[in-house]
Protein backbone atom coordinates (compact mmCIF):
# COMPACT_ATOMS: atom_id res chain seq x y z
CA UNK A 1 0.00 0.00 0.00
CA UNK A 2 1.30 3.45 -0.93
CA UNK A 3 1.99 6.28 1.51
CA UNK A 4 -0.83 8.24 -0.11
CA UNK A 5 -3.32 5.48 0.66
CA UNK A 6 -2.19 5.29 4.28
CA UNK A 7 -2.68 9.05 4.63
CA UNK A 8 -6.17 8.86 3.11
CA UNK A 9 -7.08 6.09 5.52
CA UNK A 10 -5.82 8.12 8.48
CA UNK A 11 -7.71 11.25 7.42
CA UNK A 12 -10.96 9.33 6.99
CA UNK A 13 -10.56 7.70 10.40
CA UNK A 14 -9.93 11.06 12.08
CA UNK A 15 -12.92 12.72 10.39
CA UNK A 16 -15.47 9.92 10.64
CA UNK A 17 -14.16 7.47 13.21
CA UNK A 18 -14.55 4.76 10.58
CA UNK A 19 -11.53 2.85 9.26
CA UNK A 20 -11.13 2.58 5.49
CA UNK A 21 -12.06 -0.91 4.31
CA UNK A 22 -9.72 -2.39 1.73
CA UNK A 23 -11.50 -4.78 -0.64
CA UNK A 24 -10.15 -7.00 -3.40
CA UNK A 25 -11.83 -9.62 -5.58
CA UNK A 26 -11.07 -13.09 -6.85
CA UNK A 27 -12.41 -13.02 -10.40
CA UNK A 28 -13.25 -16.35 -11.99
CA UNK A 29 -13.21 -16.62 -15.79
CA UNK A 30 -14.05 -19.47 -18.13
CA UNK A 31 -11.03 -20.89 -19.94
CA UNK A 32 -11.11 -20.09 -23.69
CA UNK A 33 -12.78 -22.87 -25.66
CA UNK A 34 -13.34 -21.33 -29.12
CA UNK A 35 -17.05 -21.07 -28.36
CA UNK A 36 -17.33 -17.95 -30.53
CA UNK A 37 -15.33 -19.24 -33.49
CA UNK A 38 -18.17 -18.65 -35.97
CA UNK A 39 -18.89 -15.12 -34.76
CA UNK A 40 -17.97 -11.84 -36.48
CA UNK A 41 -18.53 -9.19 -33.85
CA UNK A 42 -18.67 -5.40 -33.93
CA UNK A 43 -17.98 -3.76 -30.55
CA UNK A 44 -18.58 -0.01 -30.37
CA UNK A 45 -16.46 1.92 -27.90
CA UNK A 46 -14.12 -1.05 -27.87
CA UNK A 47 -10.84 0.65 -26.97
CA UNK A 48 -11.38 0.86 -23.20
CA UNK A 49 -13.48 -0.24 -20.27
CA UNK A 50 -16.16 -2.87 -20.73
CA UNK A 51 -15.88 -2.70 -24.53
CA UNK A 52 -12.18 -3.50 -24.39
CA UNK A 53 -12.69 -6.36 -21.93
CA UNK A 54 -15.39 -7.80 -24.17
CA UNK A 55 -13.29 -7.54 -27.31
CA UNK A 56 -10.43 -9.27 -25.52
CA UNK A 57 -12.71 -12.11 -24.33
CA UNK A 58 -14.31 -12.53 -27.75
CA UNK A 59 -10.94 -12.78 -29.48
CA UNK A 60 -9.81 -15.37 -26.93
CA UNK A 61 -12.93 -17.38 -27.75
CA UNK A 62 -12.06 -17.48 -31.44
CA UNK A 63 -14.30 -14.70 -32.76
CA UNK A 64 -13.36 -12.31 -35.51
CA UNK A 65 -13.73 -8.92 -33.80
CA UNK A 66 -13.79 -5.31 -34.94
CA UNK A 67 -13.67 -2.46 -32.42
CA UNK A 68 -14.81 1.08 -33.16
CA UNK A 69 -14.25 4.49 -31.62
CA UNK A 70 -13.31 8.04 -32.55
CA UNK A 71 -9.56 8.04 -31.88
CA UNK A 72 -7.80 6.25 -34.72
CA UNK A 73 -4.44 6.11 -32.98
CA UNK A 74 -5.84 4.54 -29.83
CA UNK A 75 -7.93 2.09 -31.85
CA UNK A 76 -4.94 0.99 -33.89
CA UNK A 77 -2.83 0.42 -30.81
CA UNK A 78 -5.52 -1.57 -28.99
CA UNK A 79 -6.39 -3.61 -32.09
CA UNK A 80 -2.74 -4.51 -32.62
CA UNK A 81 -2.49 -5.65 -29.00
CA UNK A 82 -5.68 -7.73 -29.14
CA UNK A 83 -5.20 -9.12 -32.62
CA UNK A 84 -8.47 -7.75 -33.96
CA UNK A 85 -9.69 -5.28 -36.59
CA UNK A 86 -10.64 -1.67 -35.96
CA UNK A 87 -12.74 0.96 -37.68
CA UNK A 88 -12.82 4.65 -36.84
CA UNK A 89 -16.53 5.38 -36.48
CA UNK A 90 -18.53 7.96 -34.52
CA UNK A 91 -21.95 6.49 -33.79
CA UNK A 92 -23.38 9.97 -33.21
CA UNK A 93 -22.74 10.99 -36.85
CA UNK A 94 -25.99 9.67 -38.28
CA UNK A 95 -25.41 11.05 -41.78
CA UNK A 96 -22.21 9.03 -42.24
CA UNK A 97 -23.18 5.94 -40.25
CA UNK A 98 -24.70 3.94 -43.11
CA UNK A 99 -21.66 4.26 -45.36
CA UNK A 100 -19.20 3.60 -42.54
CA UNK A 101 -21.09 0.54 -41.37
CA UNK A 102 -21.32 -0.86 -44.89
CA UNK A 103 -17.55 -0.59 -45.35
CA UNK A 104 -16.85 -2.14 -41.97
CA UNK A 105 -19.32 -4.96 -42.64
CA UNK A 106 -17.68 -5.74 -45.98
CA UNK A 107 -14.20 -5.73 -44.47
CA UNK A 108 -15.01 -8.36 -41.84
CA UNK A 109 -17.10 -10.51 -44.15
CA UNK A 110 -20.48 -9.65 -42.67
CA UNK A 111 -21.21 -9.10 -38.98
CA UNK A 112 -23.45 -11.60 -37.22
CA UNK A 113 -23.08 -10.02 -33.76
CA UNK A 114 -23.27 -6.41 -32.59
CA UNK A 115 -22.37 -5.05 -29.16
CA UNK A 116 -23.66 -1.51 -28.61
CA UNK A 117 -21.25 -0.49 -25.88
CA UNK A 118 -20.36 3.15 -26.69
CA UNK A 119 -21.68 5.44 -23.99
CA UNK A 120 -21.00 8.48 -21.85
CA UNK A 121 -22.15 9.91 -18.53
CA UNK A 122 -21.75 13.58 -17.67
CA UNK A 123 -22.53 13.09 -13.97
CA UNK A 124 -24.87 16.05 -13.47
CA UNK A 125 -25.62 16.63 -9.80
CA UNK A 126 -29.35 17.22 -10.25
CA UNK A 127 -32.18 17.81 -12.71
CA UNK A 128 -31.56 21.55 -12.40
CA UNK A 129 -27.94 21.23 -13.55
CA UNK A 130 -28.72 19.52 -16.88
CA UNK A 131 -28.19 21.59 -20.03
CA UNK A 132 -29.66 20.97 -23.46
CA UNK A 133 -26.23 20.13 -24.86
CA UNK A 134 -25.58 17.61 -22.08
CA UNK A 135 -28.97 16.01 -22.65
CA UNK A 136 -28.50 15.77 -26.41
CA UNK A 137 -24.95 14.48 -26.14
CA UNK A 138 -25.88 11.57 -23.85
CA UNK A 139 -29.00 10.58 -25.77
CA UNK A 140 -27.11 10.76 -29.07
CA UNK A 141 -24.24 8.56 -27.87
CA UNK A 142 -25.99 6.16 -25.53
CA UNK A 143 -29.28 5.62 -27.37
CA UNK A 144 -29.53 7.11 -30.85
CA UNK A 145 -26.21 5.72 -32.07
CA UNK A 146 -26.97 2.16 -31.01
CA UNK A 147 -30.56 2.42 -32.25
CA UNK A 148 -29.60 3.23 -35.83
CA UNK A 149 -26.55 0.99 -35.86
CA UNK A 150 -28.83 -1.89 -34.89
CA UNK A 151 -31.18 -0.91 -37.69
CA UNK A 152 -28.30 -1.19 -40.18
CA UNK A 153 -27.16 -4.48 -38.65
CA UNK A 154 -30.59 -6.06 -38.91
CA UNK A 155 -31.06 -4.86 -42.49
CA UNK A 156 -28.01 -6.86 -43.58
CA UNK A 157 -28.34 -9.72 -41.07
CA UNK A 158 -31.96 -10.83 -41.19
CA UNK A 159 -32.55 -13.90 -43.31
CA UNK A 160 -30.06 -15.41 -45.72
CA UNK A 161 -26.67 -16.82 -44.77
CA UNK A 162 -26.25 -14.45 -41.82
CA UNK A 163 -29.39 -15.56 -40.03
CA UNK A 164 -29.04 -16.20 -36.28
CA UNK A 165 -27.68 -12.74 -35.51
CA UNK A 166 -27.23 -11.37 -31.99
CA UNK A 167 -27.30 -7.87 -30.52
CA UNK A 168 -26.23 -6.78 -27.03
CA UNK A 169 -27.00 -3.33 -25.69
CA UNK A 170 -24.88 -2.28 -22.72
CA UNK A 171 -27.41 -0.81 -20.35
CA UNK A 172 -26.81 -0.10 -16.68
CA UNK A 173 -28.11 -0.84 -13.23
CA UNK A 174 -29.44 2.75 -13.40
CA UNK A 175 -31.97 1.62 -15.99
CA UNK A 176 -33.78 -0.39 -13.32
CA UNK A 177 -34.62 2.74 -11.31
CA UNK A 178 -36.70 5.85 -11.94
CA UNK A 179 -34.47 8.78 -12.83
CA UNK A 180 -34.42 12.41 -13.92
CA UNK A 181 -30.81 12.55 -15.18
CA UNK A 182 -30.08 11.91 -18.90
CA UNK A 183 -27.71 8.99 -18.35
CA UNK A 184 -30.26 7.02 -16.34
CA UNK A 185 -33.05 7.93 -18.76
CA UNK A 186 -31.04 6.61 -21.72
CA UNK A 187 -30.48 3.31 -19.94
CA UNK A 188 -34.14 2.91 -18.98
CA UNK A 189 -35.08 3.55 -22.60
CA UNK A 190 -32.51 1.00 -23.77
CA UNK A 191 -34.13 -1.61 -21.54
CA UNK A 192 -37.47 -0.95 -23.22
CA UNK A 193 -35.86 -1.00 -26.66
CA UNK A 194 -34.17 -4.36 -25.99
CA UNK A 195 -37.49 -6.03 -25.27
CA UNK A 196 -39.30 -4.29 -28.10
CA UNK A 197 -36.68 -5.36 -30.64
CA UNK A 198 -36.42 -8.88 -29.22
CA UNK A 199 -40.15 -9.41 -29.67
CA UNK A 200 -40.05 -8.35 -33.33
CA UNK A 201 -36.65 -9.55 -34.54
CA UNK A 202 -36.83 -13.18 -33.41
CA UNK A 203 -38.97 -13.63 -36.52
CA UNK A 204 -35.74 -13.15 -38.46
CA UNK A 205 -33.61 -15.30 -36.18
CA UNK A 206 -32.08 -12.27 -34.46
CA UNK A 207 -31.81 -12.25 -30.66
CA UNK A 208 -31.44 -9.08 -28.59
CA UNK A 209 -30.11 -8.75 -25.06
CA UNK A 210 -29.46 -6.06 -22.48
CA UNK A 211 -26.43 -6.29 -20.22
CA UNK A 212 -26.75 -3.93 -17.27
CA UNK A 213 -23.68 -3.74 -15.03
CA UNK A 214 -23.67 -2.26 -11.57
CA UNK A 215 -20.88 0.18 -10.66
CA UNK A 216 -17.90 -1.16 -12.60
CA UNK A 217 -14.30 -0.01 -12.48
CA UNK A 218 -14.08 2.01 -15.70
CA UNK A 219 -13.39 5.64 -16.62
CA UNK A 220 -17.15 6.18 -16.77
CA UNK A 221 -17.71 6.14 -13.01
CA UNK A 222 -14.77 8.45 -12.31
CA UNK A 223 -13.42 6.45 -9.38
CA UNK A 224 -9.71 6.23 -8.55
CA UNK A 225 -9.26 3.16 -6.38
CA UNK A 226 -5.51 2.52 -6.33
CA UNK A 227 -6.33 -1.16 -6.16
CA UNK A 228 -9.04 -0.87 -3.49
CA UNK A 229 -12.34 -2.15 -4.91
CA UNK A 230 -14.38 -1.25 -1.82
CA UNK A 231 -17.63 0.40 -2.83
CA UNK A 232 -20.21 0.73 -0.09
CA UNK A 233 -23.20 1.17 -2.42
CA UNK A 234 -22.91 -2.26 -4.07
CA UNK A 235 -24.44 -5.24 -2.25
CA UNK A 236 -21.09 -7.05 -2.24
CA UNK A 237 -19.38 -3.84 -1.05
CA UNK A 238 -17.02 -3.78 -4.00
CA UNK A 239 -16.74 -2.43 -7.53
CA UNK A 240 -17.19 -4.93 -10.32
CA UNK A 241 -14.53 -5.42 -12.98
CA UNK A 242 -14.99 -5.21 -16.77
CA UNK A 243 -13.68 -8.76 -17.14
CA UNK A 244 -16.64 -10.08 -15.14
CA UNK A 245 -19.14 -8.35 -17.40
CA UNK A 246 -17.29 -9.63 -20.48
CA UNK A 247 -17.80 -13.22 -19.34
CA UNK A 248 -21.56 -12.71 -19.27
CA UNK A 249 -21.48 -10.98 -22.66
CA UNK A 250 -19.55 -13.87 -24.20
CA UNK A 251 -22.15 -16.34 -22.92
CA UNK A 252 -24.98 -14.35 -24.51
CA UNK A 253 -23.28 -14.43 -27.91
CA UNK A 254 -22.82 -18.21 -27.87
CA UNK A 255 -25.39 -20.48 -29.47
CA UNK A 256 -25.90 -22.00 -26.01
CA UNK A 257 -27.94 -18.88 -25.16
CA UNK A 258 -30.23 -19.14 -28.20
CA UNK A 259 -33.28 -19.86 -26.03
CA UNK A 260 -32.89 -16.36 -24.57
CA UNK A 261 -33.96 -13.07 -26.13
CA UNK A 262 -35.23 -9.85 -24.62
CA UNK A 263 -33.47 -10.62 -21.35
CA UNK A 264 -31.85 -7.76 -19.43
CA UNK A 265 -29.16 -9.28 -17.25
CA UNK A 266 -28.42 -6.93 -14.37
CA UNK A 267 -24.92 -7.62 -13.07
CA UNK A 268 -25.22 -6.07 -9.62
CA UNK A 269 -25.69 -9.04 -7.26
CA UNK A 270 -29.21 -7.98 -6.41
CA UNK A 271 -28.83 -4.29 -5.60
CA UNK A 272 -31.59 -3.27 -8.00
CA UNK A 273 -34.06 -5.84 -6.61
CA UNK A 274 -37.04 -4.02 -5.13
CA UNK A 275 -36.93 -5.84 -1.81
CA UNK A 276 -39.10 -4.74 1.11
CA UNK A 277 -35.97 -5.06 3.24
CA UNK A 278 -34.38 -2.07 1.53
CA UNK A 279 -33.74 0.84 3.82
CATH number reported for the structural domain that contains residue 219 in this entry:
3.40.50.720
CA–CA dist 77, 19 (Å, integer)? 41
Q: What is the dihedral of CA 116, 186, 195, 213, to 10 degrees?
A: 60
Angle at 21 between CA 16 and CA 23, to 5 degrees: 155
Instruction: State the average pLDDT over residues 131-143.
Output: 97
Closest CA to 104 of 125, 82, 89: 89
β-strand partners of 68: 44, 87
Is residue 204 in some structural domain? yes
How many domains does the chain fold into? 1
Is residue 207 in some structural domain? yes
CA–CA dist 279, 260 (Å, integer)? 33
% of the chain with per-residue pLDDT over 90: 68
Is residue 236 in some structural domain? no
What is the reported pLDDT for 240?
84
Which has the higher per-residue pLDDT, 147 or 15? 147
How many residues would you count in the chain? 279
CA–CA dist 178, 171 (Å, integer)? 14
Dump pLDDT digits (tens) for 150-185.
999 999 887 554 458 999 999 998 999 999 999 999
What is the reported pLDDT for 6?
43
Is residue 67 in some structural domain? yes
Closest CA to 211 of 247, 179, 235, 237: 247
Is residue 22 in some structural domain? no
Which helix (H) or strand (E) segment holds residue 50: the answer is helix 49-60
Is residue 169 in some structural domain? yes
CA–CA dist 154, 100 (Å, integer)? 15
Tell me the three state secondary structure of residue 166. Answer: strand
Whether pLDDT at 7 is above 50: no
Q: What is the dihedral of CA 164, 201, 64, 55, to 10 degrees?
A: -130
Is residue 11 in some structural domain? no
| Per-residue confidence band for 232, with pLDDT thresholds at 50, 70 and 90 | confident
In this prediction the pTM is 0.86
Is residue 110 in some structural domain? yes
Whether pLDDT at 130 is above 80: yes
Which has the higher per-residue pLDDT, 226 or 70? 70
What is the reported pLDDT for 20?
61
Whether pLDDT at 12 is above 90: no
Task: State the chain's mean pLDDT as an integer.
Answer: 87
What is the reported pLDDT for 1?
37
What is the reported pLDDT for 3?
44
- What domain range is 180 assigned to? 32-231+241-267
Amino acid sequence: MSLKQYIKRGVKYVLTGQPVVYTTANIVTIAPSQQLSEKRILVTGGSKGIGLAMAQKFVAEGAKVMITGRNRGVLRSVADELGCLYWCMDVTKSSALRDEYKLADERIGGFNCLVNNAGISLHEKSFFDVTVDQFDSQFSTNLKGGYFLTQLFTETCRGGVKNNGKVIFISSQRGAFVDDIPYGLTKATINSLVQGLAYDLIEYGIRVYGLAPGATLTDLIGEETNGNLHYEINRSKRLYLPEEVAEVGAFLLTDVANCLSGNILVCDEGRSINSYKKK
